[in-house]
Amino acid sequence: MPIEENEARLRLLQGFYTLVNADEVRRFLRVYPDAADVLIEARPHIERIFGSNTRAALEVTFDPDSESLRDSEELFGNIRTSLPVEEALDQLSQFDDEWFLAQLTRAGGRLNFNLEFV
């Protein structure tokens, strides 16, 4: 993918997602460019289910017990919410069932969504 296109998608993502470890997120999205498409497409689904003012944070995580950290990396979209726990979990389950689970393979199985309570 051309660098300019990748940078344009990254700018678009930064309009909705906070990049927790920005350098790692940028590198991850260069390695797994389909993840950026999934993240862009996720926005209206997150807003529909969690509300239009909902923010999310992107963070690359690694399994510390893995022999190869790069082979264990995963990008999390942490949906920030102040909803009661049960309600937020129900909404995350709805997001998964209605849209996200069908997208898992598009990002090489290395993208996931979770909740971050604020």
pLDDT digits (tens, 9 = 90+) for 34-80: 999 999 999 999 999 999 999 999 999 987 777 766 678 999 999 99
Q: Is the pLDDT of residue 111 over 70?
A: yes
- Mean per-residue pLDDT, 12-16: 91
pLDDT at 69: 61
pLDDT at 96: 97
118 vs 2 pLDDT, higher one: 118
Q: Which of 28, 32, 8, 30 is nearest to 20 (CA)?
A: 28
Residue at 29: amino acid letter: L
**Residue ranges of the alpha helices (H) in 3-98?**
3-14, 22-31, 33-50, 85-98
Joined together, the tokens standing for residue 34 give 């389909």
Joined together, the tokens standing for residue 25 give 């997120």
Q: Which of 76, 64, 68 is nearest to 18 (CA)?
A: 76
Please, what is the average pLDDT of the chain? 91
* Contact by Cβ (8 Å): 26, 60: no
Q: Which of 25, 29, 28, 26 is nearest to 37 (CA)?
A: 29
